[in-house]
């Protein structure tokens, strides 16, 4: 009888832990966490892409400027 009581207590503790994590609040928290992580990843990748595009633009601008000056120097 004592052995059954101990097993029932263990099962009750397990059910309480399961019900703690299987409810609407936990689902909303997980969803919110997913949105936050997704937003952070989007922001980080967007910043990286923009910085890379600016760098590429500046590099091309410098190269075109050098080529233009060299071409103008030929006509002088």
For the stretch 32-58, pLDDT in tens is: 999 999 999 999 999 999 999 999 999
Record the tokens describing residue 13, joined without a space. Answer: 């503790």
For the stretch 10-28, pLDDT in tens is: 676 777 777 777 888 889 9
pTM attached to this predicted model: 0.60
Q: Which residue has the higher pLDDT, 63 or 76?
A: 63
**Structure-token match 């609040």, residue found:** 25
Specify the number of domains making up the chain.
1
Instruction: Give residue 68's domain range.
Output: 2-75
Reduced to 3 states (helix: H, G, I; strand: E, B; else coil), residue 24 is helix
Report the alpha-carbon distance of residue 14 to residue 6 in Å, rounded.
12
What are the backbone dihedrals phi and psi of residue 33, each rounded to the nearest 5 degrees, phi first? -60, -40
What angle is formed at CA 13 by the lines to CA 12 and CA 15, rounded to 5 degrees?
Answer: 65
């Amino acid at each position: 009888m004592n052995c059954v009581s101990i097993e029932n207590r263990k099962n009750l503790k397990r059910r309480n832990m399961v019900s703690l994590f299987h409810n609407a609040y936990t689902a909303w928290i997980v969803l919110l966490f997913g949105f936050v992580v997704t937003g952070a990843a989007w922001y980080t990748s967007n910043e990286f892409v923009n910085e890379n595009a600016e760098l590429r633009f500046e590099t091309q601008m410098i190269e075109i400027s050098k080529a233009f000056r060299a071409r103008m120097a030929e006509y002088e």
